[in-house]
Amino acid sequence: MKQIELFTDGSCKGNPGPGGWAALLRMGRHEKELSGSDPETTNNRMEMTAVIRGLSALIEPCQVDIYTDSKYVIDGITKWVHGWKKRGWINASKKPVKNAELWHDLIEAVARHQIEWHWVKGHSGHPENERVDALANQAADRALVGEG
């Protein structure tokens, strides 16, 4: 099974507002950058989209180390999702889970792979996190001016 590193980030100009996401896939010395935007979204949606799109770019099951600065994504997929499923996609506050369609997409995306989650402190000088942050911000800027 191939060993992949996936670095992800999301950005939003206003929350909600125009947003961008980015993913950096690395296998050995080979790298691939992905990014995209949405004209009206939230930061959490962009964080999730970055992981979903990064994993979806893999054409076969892999061992993936995912690095993100989003506790929302990590806690959601490793802790909260189990309770949401049991409660019929109702959160602990007895309200529908936000971004449920993306959580379903993320569940499907991670199911194919062996995943190890790593939290990275944002804006702390982590080279790959800074790189995907810049890419996500560039994508959000494109969405802001209508080029997304």
From 5, 10, 54, 113, active-site residue: 10
How is 7-67 classified by DSSP, letter by letter? EEEEEESSSSEEEEEEEEEEETTEEEEEEEEEEEE-HHHHHHHHHHHHHHT-SS-EEEEEE
Those residues with Cβ within 8 angstroms of residue 85's Cβ, 6 or more apart along the chain or in another chain: none
- Determine whether 47 is an active site residue: yes
Residue closest to 81 by CA, chosen among 103, 114, 109? 103
- Determine whether 69 is an active site residue: yes
CB count, 10 Å around CB of 100? 13
3-state helix vs strand vs coil in the chain, percent to 5: 40, 35, 25
- Determine whether 88 is an active site residue: no
From 5, 38, 47, 105, active-site residue: 47
Which token pair is 140?
């959000």
- Determine whether 123 is an active site residue: yes
From 20, 36, 38, 69, active-site residue: 69
Which token pair is 81?
């999702």
Catalytic residues, which ones?
9-10, 47, 69, 123, 133
